[in-house]
Amino acid sequence: MQKILVARPIFPDVIERLKQYFDVDWHQGEVLPADELTRRLADKDGALTAGDPVGAAALAAAPRLRVVSNMAVGYNNFDMAAFNAANVLGTNTPDVLNESTADFGWALMMAAARRIAESEHWLRAGKWQKWTYDGFLGSDIYGSTLGVIGMGRIGQALARRAKGFNMQVIYHNRSRVAPEIEAELNAEYASKQDLLRRADHVVLVLPYTKENHHTIGAAELAQMKPTATLTNIARGGIVDDAALVEALRTKQIAAAGLDVYEGEPRLNPDLLTVPNVVLTPHIASATEATRRAMANLAADNLIAALGEGPRAGRPPNPINPEVIGKARS
Ligand code: 8YV
């Protein structure tokens, strides 16, 4: 039987599925440190990760390893140049999380705009004595302008929801999406600068790459409206968190909603000191149904990539399909 590592606690029934095909080494404790992950990968044919960094050193120490299946759509934790050089396949879990993640983007954006978390904390602290005409005034969603940066599958799902709120949708992306999609979403392509200046609510839904590092920093925040909100459901590092703290503190923008952070699960401690930011612990895809779908898809990818199951040799979501069938190097 081929050997696999499951590097994280996941649904036990998915582990049972994997056990039908593999000898499973299941790590259920705290996140494996890099050296421990490398050690546990050394004798494995495949692995299932969820955001764990895998690079050249780990691949070199695991000569049998042929596939690493990430239980996430984002795979910036994989050094894909190293995967390609070693002929190791990486897989991810796109699509199954689009709608849950888009829902959550809206929840965060609305919570930030309407000051839901901030006012709830205030209420819990026993500070509510009387109604006031200017208590927790926020910015409107209905009829406002939504600016989506990153118009992939999740960005499109997010934009689709804007119709019900009678919003104007503008977007920025590496390249324009197909005219039919622009028409369906009633979305107008804009330069990043134009989007930042015009949008009432900016939502980030782009993948993390070196080029996207600090897509939003001090200069970009300075271009936004003082009534605007910024929501990040993409990846830590796309926003310069220190610059954001400053922009929130000085009311350069009204509010922010963050689900992801530079260096998470640790976060810039200053974020905890500004009231006008809603902070959630990377849970945009966290519904029971979606996390189950992601875990099962990650298992499907692993099973198929290691030549087992009904799709043997044809994993549904290869990131670098060009290495399929090539000998490990
Ligand atoms: C994952 C995510 O839960 O899919 C992604 O890219 O950010 C989340 O849905 C998280 O990355 C853990 O793997």
What pLDDT is attached to residue 45? 98
Side-chain half-sphere of 35: how many Cα atoms within 13 Å? 0
Side-chain half-sphere of 252: how many Cα atoms within 13 Å? 19
Handedness of CA 289, 295, 298, 300 (dihedral sign): negative
The whole-angstrom distance between residue 177's C-alpha and the CA centroid of its chain comes to 20
CA distance 136 to 117: 11
What pLDDT is attached to residue 171? 98
What separation in Å is there between the alpha carbon of 295 and the centre of ligand 1?
11
Q: In the 8-state DSSP scheme, what is residue 262?
A: T
Does the global pTM surpass 0.95?
yes
What pLDDT is attached to residue 235? 98
Q: Where in the chain is the domain with CATH 3.40.50.720?
A: 3-96+288-323, 98-279
What separation in Å is there between the alpha carbon of 226 and the centre of ligand 1?
31
| Low pLDDT (below 70) residues in the chain | none
What separation in Å is there between the alpha carbon of 224 and the centre of ligand 1?
28
Identify how many contiguous H helices and E strands the chain contains and give both numbers.
Answer: 12, 12
CB contact at 8 A, 50 and 75: no
Neighbours of 136 (CB within 10 A): 13
For the domain covering 98-279, report its CATH number: 3.40.50.720
What pLDDT is attached to residue 231? 99
What pLDDT is attached to residue 218? 98
End-to-end CA distance of the chain: 22
The amino acid that residue 207 corresponds to is P
Which of 319, 101, 76 shows the shortest CA–CA distance to 208? Answer: 76
314 is known as an active-site residue: no
Label residue 211 exposed, middle or buried (CB < 10 Å: 0-12, 13-18, 19+): exposed
Q: DSSP characters for 97-166?
A: THHHHHHHHHHHHHHHHTTHHHHHHHHHTT---S--TTTT-----TT-EEEEE--SHHHHHHHHGGGGGT
Q: DSSP characters for 205-231?
A: -----STTTTSB-HHHHHHS-TT-EEE
What pLDDT is attached to residue 147? 98
Q: Which of 153, 282, 288, 294 to mutate to test the pocket of ligand 1 (most atoms within 8 A of CB)?
A: 282
CA distance 310 to 304: 7
Domain 3-96+288-323 has CATH 3.40.50.300: no
CB contact at 8 A, 262 and 237: yes
264 is known as an active-site residue: yes
What pLDDT is attached to residue 201? 98
**Ligand 1, atom 2, residue with closest C-alpha:** 72
Q: Which two tokens stand for residue 225?
A: 């409206």
What pLDDT is attached to residue 314? 98
What pLDDT is attached to residue 152? 98
What pLDDT is attached to residue 62? 98
Ligand 1 site: residues with CB under 6 angstroms? 50-51, 71-74, 97, 285
pLDDT one-digit tens code per residue, 155-187: 999 999 999 999 999 999 999 999 999 999 999
What separation in Å is there between the alpha carbon of 267 and the centre of ligand 1?
17
CB contact at 8 A, 150 and 204: yes
- Please state the atom number of ligand 1 nearest to the C-alpha of residue 286: 3
